[in-house]
Amino acid sequence: MDASTSVVNTIFQKAWGETSAFIGRSRKTGGVDLLILLGMIGLFFGLLELRGEWTGSLRPTVTIDLSPWALPRYAFFSLSRGLLAYLFSLAFTLVYGYWAAKNRTAERILVPLLDILQSVPVLGFMPGLVLGLVALFPNSNVGLELAAVVMIFTGQAWNMTFSFYYSLRSVPKELQDAGVVFRFNWWQRFKWVELPSATMGLVWNSMMSMAGGWFFLMISEAFVLGEKDFRLPGVGSYMSVAVARGDVPAMLWAILAMVVMIVILDQFLWRPVVVWAQKFRIEEDGQQQVMTSWFLDLLRYSTFARWIKRRSQASKSRPAVVAPKVAIRHETPGPVGSLGRIIPVIALGALTIVLAYGAWRLLGLVRFVSFAQWAGIVGAAFTTLARVLTAVALGTLWALPAGLAIGLSPRLSRTLQPVVQVAASFPAPMLFPMVIAVMAWAGIPLGWGSIVLMLLGTQWYILFNVIAGAMAIPSDLKEAARTYQIRGWQRFKILYVPSVFPYLVTGWVTAAGGAWNASIVSEYVMYKGQMMAAWGLGAEISKVAAAAEFPLLAASVMVMAVMVVLFNRMVWRRFYRMAADRYSLSR
């Protein structure tokens, strides 16, 4: 997905071509700076508005105005929640990933814990967060807002953390050694060696994770907990209300707002960041297509940016005074300060205590769950497992050929890949009402229909992994197949499927994980103002969360986490190993 220029980008590039050429000519007038100034003023007023929302008194259920003119304000709220959640995710990632990668003992607890956290659906976190945070700020909206932000965070953080942890573990050996030999302290090692080498992975995963955060936006902004109905102003709740009222134009407006939001994020945030992050590539071959960002170019034109650059350069190359010979202080690195040694131990101890306490409380909760209820939950879990696997299989059925077609044709991949990227960032649950309406009309029961809903959210992972795999097939293999006239089905079987297999496995794992999480919204849906449920663990979780039956909720979430983790260990890991042993093209 990285090698191409986005369509949207191209359009902007064209539209802006003239403008930026003009701006380029009239740099002295400071046109760009004017734009930046305007942007900043807009941001300032936006933040004022936001402040009002956050510090206002507690309003659990705001009335959502379904007029399209209210949407920009709602979109701004949702966007700021998503960005704030992202900041939390980033901070969490840096601390947690660093800790797991650097401390062998902590690693043994933190990595499996992350695996479990990743498999807990957002509703598993919801009651604790909402009740806890609202109790913490009883008189203002902060608690509720924070709860929504943290719910979005749970859709973003884990993926990023895994990526960061793996990057830290795979910093090239010599780069690490050089850091040691030249006596970088831990902070210098972090900012000069470890963080930079993890940056590329972190940036790509940030984009993916942001999309993951939007997935549950409707739930994060509008949810029912027991008797209470919580609703925060935002695109997600706008959509929820529109669906509840069956207001189709409002639904369409919400979808449009969401698309605009995603495109804006892509153009103004991610693309500039990705282009900037190119300098942190470790592989030194220059074969990658250079990516561009009109927005970053624009920024670079600005007086403001040039002023910053001048300042940083001034410090770099001031005329040198003739070197006075001064002794270097050679210090034998003594034992690490006692404080430096104690902190990790304390942190690890605290973590263990918190985990033990949490487990104990959890056991206290699920004590009340009867055997029959457990049996029901496990049965529901297997039903959902069947749906998840069917969804993955169906997704593969269309995404494998489609992905191959796109990835093998440079023209198609150039034009379609960015579209796929934006489509994948779009939170599928917002499309559910339309799909359900179609299925209701066709008479498909939700038991089967929910598979389609899962598919809607998770097929993209398979698709763009296959695209990436197809683009990576070495040309000599393709040429060999052409020379020996291996065609059609044979070529598919001999060349294409084996070479994309490792990518396909990654796609499957991500898609299955996504499908499990999506089950809570696809087995339990609102249609024409009524809730419909299919038998399954996702529906179970949604139901008991809405009814605030915490013992059952805890039990169902536990079962889901166990199912997902076990399935990862027993099935997906095997596929991974097979892919690495047999189908890896890099060996």
Partner 1 sequence: MDSVSNQQFPPATGALCEAKRISHEFALPSGNPVKVLEDVSLEIHPNEVIALLGPSGCGKSTLMRALAGLIRPTSGEVLYHGLPLRGLNPGVAIVFQNFALYPWMDVVENVQSVLKAIGLPDDQVRSRSESAIRTVGLSGFEEAYPRELSGGMKQRVGIARALSVDPEILFMDEPFSQVDALTAESLRSEVIDIWAIKERNLASILMVSHDIKEVVYMADRIVVMGAGPGRVRAIMPNPLPRPRDYSAAHFLRMVDHLHEIITGHEMPDLPELPGEEPPASEIIPDAETSEIIGLLEYLDGRAGRQDVFRIAADTNKEFGRMINVVKAAEILDFIDTPGRDAVITATGRRFIRETAEGRKPIWREQLLKLWLFRDVYEVLDRQERKAIGSDIIKEMIVFQMPAENFDRVFDTFVRWARFGNLFAYNEDTEEMSLQ
| Of 349, 390, 1, nearest in space to 204 by CA | 1
| 587 is a site residue for partner 1 (CB under 8 A) | no
The rounded distance, in Å, linking the Cα atoms of 233 and 215 is: 17
Structure tokens at 546: 């809405």
The rounded distance, in Å, linking the Cα atoms of 123 and 526 is: 16
- Cα atoms in the Cβ-side hemisphere of radius 13 Å centred on 53: 22
SS3 327: coil
Structure tokens at 369: 């769950």
Which member of 25, 108, 281, 300 binds partner 1 (CB under 8 A)?
A: 281
| 580 is a site residue for partner 1 (CB under 8 A) | no
Q: State the minimum distance, in angstroms, from the CB of residue 336 to partner 1.
A: 10
Contact assessment for residue 114 and residue 100, using Cβ atoms and an 8 Å cutoff? yes
| 177 is a site residue for partner 1 (CB under 8 A) | yes
Q: State the minimum distance, in angstroms, from the CB of residue 579 to partner 1.
A: 14
Beta partners for residue 531, in sequence order = 526
Helix runs in 266-302, H state only: 271-277, 294-301
| 287 is a site residue for partner 1 (CB under 8 A) | no
Select 227 or 284, whichever has its Cβ closest to partner 1.
Answer: 284
Structure tokens at 446: 């939700």
Which member of 311, 329, 411, 587 binds partner 1 (CB under 8 A)?
A: 329
Q: State the minimum distance, in angstroms, from the CB of residue 134 to partner 1.
A: 44
Q: Which of these segments, 60-68, 213-221, 273-281, 527-535, binds partner 1 (CB under 8 A)?
A: 273-281
Q: Which of these segments, 190-198, 300-308, 452-460, 531-539, binds partner 1 (CB under 8 A)?
A: 190-198
Select 324 or 337, whichever has its Cβ closest to partner 1.
Answer: 324
Structure tokens at 461: 């992972």
| 178 is a site residue for partner 1 (CB under 8 A) | yes
The rounded distance, in Å, linking the Cα atoms of 155 and 428 is: 14
DSSP string, 409-447: -HHHHHHHHHHHHHHHHS-GGGGHHHHHHHHHHHT--HH
What's the one-letter identity of residue 350? A
Select 286 or 529, whichever has its Cβ closest to partner 1.
Answer: 286
Select 314 or 570, whichever has its Cβ closest to partner 1.
Answer: 314
Select 317 or 483, whichever has its Cβ closest to partner 1.
Answer: 317
Select 177 or 479, whichever has its Cβ closest to partner 1.
Answer: 177
Contact assessment for residue 419 and residue 7, using Cβ atoms and an 8 Å cutoff? yes
| 322 is a site residue for partner 1 (CB under 8 A) | yes
| 535 is a site residue for partner 1 (CB under 8 A) | no
Going by the DSSP 8-state scheme, the letter that residue 278 receives in this structure is G
| 325 is a site residue for partner 1 (CB under 8 A) | yes
The rounded distance, in Å, linking the Cα atoms of 370 and 330 is: 68
Which member of 48, 290, 314, 327 binds partner 1 (CB under 8 A)?
A: 327
| 175 is a site residue for partner 1 (CB under 8 A) | yes
| 196 is a site residue for partner 1 (CB under 8 A) | yes
Q: Which of these segments, 125-133, 316-324, 485-493, 535-543, binds partner 1 (CB under 8 A)?
A: 316-324
Q: Which of these segments, 93-101, 140-148, 330-338, 514-522, binds partner 1 (CB under 8 A)?
A: 330-338
| 330 is a site residue for partner 1 (CB under 8 A) | yes
Q: State the minimum distance, in angstroms, from the CB of residue 193 to partner 1.
A: 7
Distances (CA, A) of 541 to 270, 281, 424, 503, 536: 34, 43, 25, 32, 9
| Of 151, 115, 225, 120, nearest in space to 559 by CA | 120
| 326 is a site residue for partner 1 (CB under 8 A) | yes
Sequence-distant (6+) residues with CB within 8 A of 171 are: 193, 194, 197, 198
Q: State the minimum distance, in angstroms, from the CB of residue 168 to partner 1.
A: 15
Strands (E), 256-362: none
Which member of 18, 227, 284, 476 binds partner 1 (CB under 8 A)?
A: 284
Beta partners for residue 524, in sequence order = 533
Q: Which residues 197-256 are close enough to bind partner 1 by CB under 8 A? A: 199
Q: How many C-beta neighbours within 10 Å does residue 70 have?
A: 15
| 576 is a site residue for partner 1 (CB under 8 A) | no
Select 323 or 346, whichever has its Cβ closest to partner 1.
Answer: 323
Which member of 182, 307, 441, 489 binds partner 1 (CB under 8 A)?
A: 182
Largest Cα–Cα separation, the chain: 86
Q: How many C-beta neighbours within 10 Å does residue 546 have?
A: 18
SS3 79: helix
Q: Which residues 453-512 are close enough to bind partner 1 by CB under 8 A? A: none
Structure tokens at 126: 């919801």
| 286 is a site residue for partner 1 (CB under 8 A) | yes
Which member of 15, 37, 282, 353 binds partner 1 (CB under 8 A)?
A: 282
Count of residues interacting with partner 1 (CB under 8 A) = 43
| 188 is a site residue for partner 1 (CB under 8 A) | yes
H-run or E-run covering 524: strand 524-527
The rounded distance, in Å, linking the Cα atoms of 215 and 457 is: 8
Q: State the minimum distance, in angstroms, from the CB of residue 305 to partner 1.
A: 17
Q: State the minimum distance, in angstroms, from the CB of residue 567 to partner 1.
A: 23
Residues listed for the chain: 587
Select 315 or 475, whichever has its Cβ closest to partner 1.
Answer: 315
Q: Which of these segments, 35-43, 191-199, 477-485, 539-547, binds partner 1 (CB under 8 A)?
A: 191-199
**Contact residues: partner 1, CB under 8 A:** 172, 174-175, 177-178, 180-185, 188, 192-193, 196, 199, 279-282, 284, 286, 315-318, 320-334, 581-582
